[in-house]
Amino acid sequence: MEVTDMKITKVDYAATGAFSQTIADYLSQSEKLKTFYHRFPTLEAFSEQIREKQFSVAQRHTLYQALQEQYVSLADIHPVVQQNLELLQQPNTYTVTTGHQLNIFTGPLYFVYKIVTAINTCRQLQAAYPDYNFVPVYWMATEDHDFAEINHFNLFGKRYTWESEQTGAVGRFATNGLDKVLEELPEAFPIFEDAYRNSKTLADATLAITHALFGEYGLVSIDGDHKELKKALIPVVEKEVTEQLSNKLVEATNSQLEQLGYKPQVFSREINLFYLQDGMRERIVQEGDRYKVLNTDLSFTEQEMLQEAQQHPERFSPNVILRPLFEEMVLPNLAYIGGGAEVAYWFQLCKVFEAHQVTFPIIMLRNSALYISKPNANRMHKLGLEPIDLFQDYQELKKKLSSQLHEEEINLETQREAVAKAFKQVEALAEGIDPTLVRAVAAEQQKAHNSLQMLEKKLSKARDSKHEQTFKQLENLKDKLFPNGSLQERQDNLLSYQTNHPNFIPALVEAFDPLEFKFTILEEE
């Protein structure tokens, strides 16, 4: 499957009805939102972002060493990835980053869309700024502890779940039990078989999977759960403990957003940090003059907590408020790519970046797509629909089809009149020959009248049945393209497409334009 075999249609995100008003306002560059971000993503804006982003030789060395340690888990590193790892040491190399949870088997399809958007952004930047190097990065959310969100995926309409009693940061989970999921699958998927059977941890397995899928495009995956990287967090921890700084700044921003009619996307806490150890990631809270780790017996004075940060920064884990700041402190990053909800919560964070004197990245909405296979495309055209029509509500589409299927009411009145006229002539003939036959003619006329009435009903019922089949076809098409009433990318898994179309990812790479900010419809021809 190549783009040449596909019809590509681009539509405004607003036209899909699937994105928030916040996103619509951002993409239209509404004045209301401009104080909540730094630069709108245009090709020209990256020139200023490059000039502003500061990233020292020492920071590059720390990043390079951490990545070298993490990539040891791979038997072979793709030459393009190896080249990008080396380039990160150079002062003219920058990254474009996306991040996501460690969903098993890549989880929802938008995981792939995020990464392809990062890859294509780097390609466009490389063409526009040839004096610099641009590396796509996937930030693995290894410290996430919400196992229920990542332990399942949907394939061909069936849900597969990884059962495990492990707790704490999911990236540290052993891959025990994933072999059972592999055995339940309808067929073997070598990339995932290799990753889950031969990796010690979920973080290592996810690195192996993303490398196998995107290595040829130079994608670098990074695990922030690393002692040397975490040293960058020390001044952040100090301000959290002594000033509860991020919460104050985010709360102030939230008030501004709410006054403008926007609902804050994520919740800030007084201390936006977790305490992290094997099997445990729990919130840090202040109670009186003590700092406690919830659901444990751990308790620190302020001085002890600050000392703990100095000696063991790896034991501190940022939550959703501080994770973006941590990313930007350890990467020479220019832009962050996220889904609609992510883009919205970055708007809550600008003041936090200012306070820590860290450059706020360009925030980009990832590409979104609707993939229409050839059989579904044929069904769509048979129904007389265009791809953009499919985003309408089913009832609205049904009305549209009803209008298109409109035919004159089936009425055999003309035929009845003709039959009545014919019988009138027969009646006159009978009257002249044998008047006793008139009653017989009348009886036959009534039979003919009744037969026409019955035929009229049968024809109407057959037409209605034909329309019902059309409506059922429409319902089935909507269910296939919008599973559970939502976008494909939020429900389906990569393997649902990759299985029948091995070139699915290359087709996305060819089709996506990250800076166009249009929804992409890929229709197989």
Sequence ranges of the domains in the chain: 6-223+332-372+492-524, 234-318, 375-486
Name residues whose C-beta falls within 8 Å of residue 134's C-beta, 6 or more positions apart in sequence.
93, 94, 95, 96, 121, 122, 125, 126, 334
Placement of tokens 């929802």 in the chain: 108
SS (H, E, C) 141-206: CCCCCCHHHHCEEEECCEEEECCCCCCCCHHHCECCCHHHHHHHCCCCCHHHHHHHHHCCEHHHHH
Token couple for 16: 């899909």
Strand 299-300 with 93-100, pairing = unpaired
CA distance 105 to 181: 10
Token couple for 22: 């916040």
Q: What is the pLDDT of residue 412?
A: 80
- Residue 60, Cβ neighbours under 10 Å: how many? 17
Q: What is the pLDDT of residue 409?
A: 57
CA distance 152 to 160: 5
Placement of tokens 């089709």 in the chain: 511
Widest Cα–Cα separation across the chain: 125
Q: Is the pLDDT of residue 4 over 80?
A: no
CA distance 265 to 297: 32
* Mean pLDDT, the chain, whole residue set: 93
Q: Is the pLDDT of residue 464 over 70?
A: no
Task: Give the strands of the sheet with 299-300, arranged side by side.
Answer: 299-300, 290-293, 280-287, 273-277, 316-318
Closest CA to 516 of 55, 10, 98: 10
CA distance 85 to 79: 10
Q: What is the pLDDT of residue 89?
A: 98
Q: In this prediction, what percent of the chain has a pLDDT beyond 90?
A: 77
Give the burial class of 505: count Cβ atoms within 10 A of its Cβ; 0-12 exposed, 13-18 middle, 19 or more buried: buried
Name residues whose C-beta falls within 8 Å of residue 418's C-beta, 6 or more positions apart in sequence.
none
Q: What is the pLDDT of residue 428?
A: 86
Amino acid type, 227: K
Mean of pLDDT values over 325-338: 98
Name residues whose C-beta falls within 8 Å of residue 167's C-beta, 6 or more positions apart in sequence.
145, 147, 279, 280
CA distance 120 to 508: 10
Q: Is the dihedral of CA 17, 334, 145, 184 positive or negative?
A: positive
Token couple for 260: 């403008």
Residues 409-421: tens digit of each pLDDT: 567 888 888 988 9
SS (H, E, C) 365-416: ECCCEEEECHHHHHHHHHCCCCHHHHHCCHHHHHHHHHHHCCCCCCCCHHHH
Residue 482 half-sphere exposure, CB side, CA atoms within 13 Å? Answer: 18
Name residues whose C-beta falls within 8 Å of residue 129's C-beta, 6 or more positions apart in sequence.
46, 47, 50
Q: Is the pLDDT of residue 458 over 90?
A: no
SS (H, E, C) 285-319: EEECCEEEECCCCCEECHHHHHHHHHHCHHHEEEC
Cβ atoms of 53 and 334 closer than 8 Å: yes
Mean of pLDDT values over 240-261: 96
Cβ atoms of 430 and 422 closer than 8 Å: no
Token couple for 428: 């006159």
* Higher local confidence (pLDDT), 414 or 246: 246
Name residues whose C-beta falls within 8 Å of residue 428's C-beta, 6 or more positions apart in sequence.
none
Cβ atoms of 192 and 209 closer than 8 Å: yes
Q: Looking at the chain, how many residues does it have?
A: 525
Strand 519-524 with 6-11, pairing = antiparallel
Residues 181-190: tens digit of each pLDDT: 999 999 999 9
| pTM given for the model | 0.88
Residues 351-410: tens digit of each pLDDT: 999 999 999 999 999 999 999 999 999 999 998 889 899 999 888 887 777 777 665 556
* Higher local confidence (pLDDT), 441 or 84: 84
User: Minimum mean pLDDT among 54-63, 182-191, 471-480: which range?
Assistant: 471-480
Amino acid type, 279: G
